[in-house]
């Protein structure tokens, strides 16, 4: 593993490991592998018979997989985790952990377009092989659909004004970069709370681009059949949209 790629310092690591109640010879899945912080701790609790399956749709994550025969990496969205477990010969396992949302790596990597701090092409794809990005959302969605995205995923009070500003701007030019988007919505951003407002706007677009709530619901519905009777499911969520789904 390249040290420069280790980008996730897991939050509440001790609590997550306690929640999994790891059996040394058990079989576990980290369905949001990222930088591998949770997985490394799980491996410390497994003996030579234990197994760990890890999933991440971001190709960057593969560089963080430790050289350990007990671990197997799948480049996949975690909504498909149960199918891959069956392909590996496991119908039911002992525990599953999911750390939802995006990591600081995604925000700090300017070219990924997750942050309003950098003037780069609009992107926000967790899976860089996917064709659908923030640019498509902002340039092809109707005003009504944009309003829905901003309301549902950002709970933004002036969602209609925001959606209207986007559709008015794109009448004369394509909105291709973060800077062009910020300019388009400049009059919608409330003074003295710019960062908080923009964070919710970018959150809403990111969730839509990656279908995060739809993916989460599909994952949740598949977990009961994938867990043994005494199995554990540990989920870390960071905002009310995820909380309600969980």
Are 170 and 126 in the same domain? yes
Residue 228: enclosing H or E segment and its boundaries?
Answer: strand 227-236
| Spatial contact of 16 and 97, defined as CB atoms under 8 Å apart | yes
Q: Give me the mean pLDDT over the 102-113 stretch.
A: 64
Instruction: Note whether residue 105 is domain-resident.
Output: no
Question: What's the whole-model pTM score?
Answer: 0.87
Task: Output the pLDDT for position 10.
Answer: 76
Could you tell me the CATH number of the domain that includes residue 231? 3.40.50.150
Q: Which domain holds residue 141?
A: 110-210
User: 222 and 196: one domain?
Assistant: no
Dump pLDDT digits (tens) for 163-192.
Answer: 999 999 999 999 999 999 999 999 999 999
Percent of the chain with pLDDT over 90: 78
In a domain, 176, yes or no: yes
211 φψ region: left (φ > 0), alpha (ψ -120 to 50), beta (else): left
Rounded (5°) CA angle 90-96-97? 150
Q: How far apart are CA 48 and CA 50, in angstroms?
A: 6
CATH of the domain at 187: 1.10.150.170
In the prediction, which pLDDT does 102 show?
A: 72
Contacts 24+ apart (CB under 8 A), 10-17: 10/37, 10/38, 10/41, 10/99, 11/99, 11/236, 12/236, 13/37, 13/38, 13/41, 16/41, 16/97, 16/99, 16/234, 16/236, 17/41, 17/42, 17/45
Please state, rounded to an integer, the average pLDDT across all residues of the chain.
91
Q: How far is CA 34 from the centre of its chain?
A: 9
Domain count of the fold of the chain = 2
Q: Are residues 193 and 117 in the same domain?
A: yes
Distance CA 18, CA 23 (A): 11
Instruction: Indicate if the pLDDT at residue 2 is higher than 70.
Output: no
Q: Which two tokens stand for residue 110?
A: 């300017």
In which band, very low, low, confident or very high, does the pLDDT at 142 lie, cut at 50, 70 and 90?
very high
């Amino acid at each position: 593993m390249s040290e420069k790629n280790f980008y996730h310092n897991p939050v509440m690591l001790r609590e997550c490991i306690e929640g999994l109640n790891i059996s040394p010879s058990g079989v576990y899945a980290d369905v949001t592998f990222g930088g591998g912080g949770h997985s490394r701790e799980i491996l410390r609790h497994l003996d030579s018979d234990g197994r760990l399956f890890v999933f991440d749709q971001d190709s960057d994550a593969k560089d963080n997989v430790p050289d350990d025969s007990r671990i197997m990496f799948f480049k996949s969205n975690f909504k498909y985790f149960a199918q891959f477990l069956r392909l590996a010969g496991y119908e039911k396992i002992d525990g599953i952990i999911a750390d939802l949302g995006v990591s600081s790596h995604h925000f700090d990597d300017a070219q990924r377009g997750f942050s309003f701090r950098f003037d780069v092409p609009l992107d926000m794809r967790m899976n860089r092989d996917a064709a659908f990005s923030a640019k498509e959302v902002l340039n092809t969605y109707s005003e009504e659909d944009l309003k829905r995205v901003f309301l549902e995923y950002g709970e933004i009070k002036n969602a209609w004004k925001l959606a209207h500003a986007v559709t008015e701007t794109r009448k004369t030019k394509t909105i291709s970069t973060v800077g062009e988007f910020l300019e388009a919505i400049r009059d919608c951003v409330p003074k003295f709370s710019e960062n908080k407002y923009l964070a919710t706007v970018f959150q809403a677009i990111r969730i839509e681009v990656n279908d995060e709530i739809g993916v989460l619901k599909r994952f949740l519905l598949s977990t009961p059949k994938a867990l043994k009777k005494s199995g554990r499911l540990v989920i870390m969520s960071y905002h009310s949209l995820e909380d309600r789904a969980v």
